[in-house]
Structure 1
Amino acid sequence: MDELKTLETMGLTLPTPAYLMGAILFGLIGYAAYRYGKKASFAAFKWIGVALMLYPYAISATWLLYLVGTGLCLGLYFARR
């Protein structure tokens, strides 16, 4: 437990369960979109899928994770049309 307190004093915190579930959910959606885009030769799906898989590494706030993930999923929806 002392190690956790030491990390917190250094400014490092562990992600919440909601953040982890969001990262996994959007990562899976991104993987599926990437595979579909690669198979169907649809570049928009492929690149949005890559973005969905990688953006959780750059965002640390849970609310921002869900906001950006929802926006990218909407991008998938509108790219379909």
Structure 2
Amino acid sequence: MNSAQLLWGLLFGSLGAGYFVYGKKQGAIVPLLCGIALAVFPYFVTNTWLMVVVGVVLAAVPYFVRR
């Protein structure tokens, strides 16, 4: 694991925590699930570019999917 992976993991983890808190307070399932996924996925993805792509996609899902 290199420093880029650690920093991207920290960024996506903190964004995931924000989505999780927002989803829990608003009762919105999509931000809640995306928050959990954003906080957990950096542990399983070892490629830095793949981590960035997956993180950006997961961060954009609540914007496009409204439920």
Q: TM-score, normalised by structure 2?
A: 0.93
Calculate the aligned-residue CA RMSD, in Å: 1.3
Alpha-carbon offset, residue 50 of structure 1:
0.2
Alpha-carbon offset, residue 44 of structure 1:
0.6
The residue that corresponds to 1:3 in the other structure is none
Alpha-carbon offset, residue 57 of structure 1:
1.1
- Secondary structure of 1:59's counterpart equals coil
Alpha-carbon offset, residue 40 of structure 1:
0.4
- Secondary structure of 2:18's counterpart equals helix
5+ unaligned residues in a row in structure 1: which ranges? Answer: 1-14
The residue that corresponds to 2:55 in the other structure is 69
Query: Which of the pair has the greater relative contact order for Cα pairs under 8 Å at 6+ separation?
Result: 2
Conservation of the 8 A alpha-carbon contact between 1:45 and 1:79: no
Structure 1's consecutive aligned runs of 4 or more residues displaced over 2 angstroms after TM superposition are none
The number of residue pairs the alignment matches comes to: 67
The 5-angstrom pairing of residues 1-81 of structure 1 reads 15-80=1-66
Q: Percent identity?
A: 37
Partner Cα separation in structure 2 for residue 18 and residue 28 of structure 1? 15
Partner Cα separation in structure 2 for residue 42 and residue 49 of structure 1? 11
Q: TM-score, normalised by structure 1?
A: 0.78
Q: Which structure has more helix as a fraction of its residues?
A: 2
